[in-house]
Amino acid sequence: MSQVFIISAPSGSGKSTLVKSLLEREPGLIFSVSYTTRAPRGQEQEGREYHFVSREQFERMIAAGEFIEWARVFEDYYGTHRRYVDQGLAEGRDVVLDIDVQGARQLKEKIPGAVSVFILAPSREELEKRLRARGDVSDAVIRRRLAEAAREIRNFGQYDYVLINDDLQAASERLLWIVRTSRLRSSNEAVKARVREILETFERQERREDNG
């Protein structure tokens, strides 16, 4: 039984680093590369961190129903293409989605069994420090992202797990534990289904004997 993992976090919380570590350490996961209308940052590459498209193209994809979830964050769109999730589920593989709070809420409604994880920095001061360390945004943008972070953190209760990234190694280990535990639980459910099938073979024979 395949599993879907939703990972969300305010900008600057270290989500990308933790997801990268997870994908390197846990085999068999498919990472769903989201689409966005924002410009690439730093060393980001097309098809690796995101698929970068124009606003017009994104809106055409919305109209065509190509996204399983999408949201507008500040001036830009972000969305998850259906094919990534459908392909992973069809192949029986687990899918990791890096999406914001709005998208996570939409996806949970469509895939209630998805496992959701919310990542955040240990304080407002630390988050601001991380945002400023990037060096590629203005004070106005930082203030806006901090205000957005407060809004997102207020929704932490909609997630199955909350992970405070105050120590990168410890946070990485906890995220790995969450995923492995959830995959084991999912695998156990598949085993239970198989056991029920096996038990049915015994019960069929018992019915034959009772009727014979």
**Residue-range domain boundaries for the chain:** 4-211
Is the pLDDT at 92 greater than 90, yes or no?
no
Helices 124-134 and 139-153: crossing angle in degrees, nearest 10, is 140
| 163 DSSP assignment | E
Mean pLDDT score, 139-147: 91
Is the pLDDT at 1 greater than 70, yes or no?
no
CATH 3.40.50.720 fits 4-211, yes or no: no
The encoded tokens of residue 128 equal 């601001």
pLDDT tens digits, one per residue of 56-66: 999 999 999 99
The encoded tokens of residue 178 equal 């969450």
Is the pLDDT at 188 greater than 80, yes or no?
no
